[in-house]
């Protein structure tokens, strides 16, 4: 799809498209109603402006749209060494050790218990070891700091997805 096609979608189709980028319903509604976008930069800027206007409820709703990395089998599949990763997003990911996978699963569980939402990070291009390092760096934070961190990571994620959308 290109930008002209996005601008021409029905409200329902546009809602579906934006929902693939971010599951915060208020963000999606405002993105749909902000069309048409003159160019990709306007789309990107508007997405950021809307995101920054949202409250904690909206952030948590967006975070819930991500699968929780909670068990070693899921992590093993995610970080398996493969040459066919979609769009090369995780091309720098190497095969992770069982210990790193277990530590990620344990850290994710601890994070959820402490903050009440899952660990959000823009994983594109990050190895399992890098993800674990980021998780361990963020675990000592307080909830407000972590909401800010997770919101910024979510912003990075939807910006990548918007680029893919058009």
User: Catalytic amino acids?
Assistant: 66
Token pair for 87: 């769009």
Cα separation of 40 and 162, whole Å? 9
In 53-70, which positions are buried (b, 16+ CB within 10 angstroms) versus exposed (e)?
A: ebeeebbbbbbebbeebe
């Amino acid at each position: 799809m290109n930008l002209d096609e996005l601008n021409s979608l029905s409200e329902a189709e546009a809602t579906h498209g934006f929902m693939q980028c971010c599951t915060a319903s208020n963000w999606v509604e405002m993105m749909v109603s902000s069309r048409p976008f003159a160019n990709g930069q306007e789309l990107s800027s508007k997405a950021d402006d809307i995101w920054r206007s949202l409250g904690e409820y909206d952030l948590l709703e967006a975070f819930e749209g991500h699968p929780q990395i909670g068990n070693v089998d899921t992590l093993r599949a995610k970080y398996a060494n493969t040459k066919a990763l979609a769009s090369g997003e995780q091309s720098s990911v190497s095969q992770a050790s069982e210990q790193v996978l277990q530590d990620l699963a344990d850290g994710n569980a601890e994070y959820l218990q402490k903050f009440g939402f899952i660990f959000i990070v823009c994983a594109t291009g990050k190895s399992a070891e890098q993800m674990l390092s980021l998780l361990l760096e963020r675990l000592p934070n307080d909830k407000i700091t972590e909401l800010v961190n997770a919101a910024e990571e979510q912003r990075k994620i939807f910006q990548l997805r918007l680029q893919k959308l058009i």
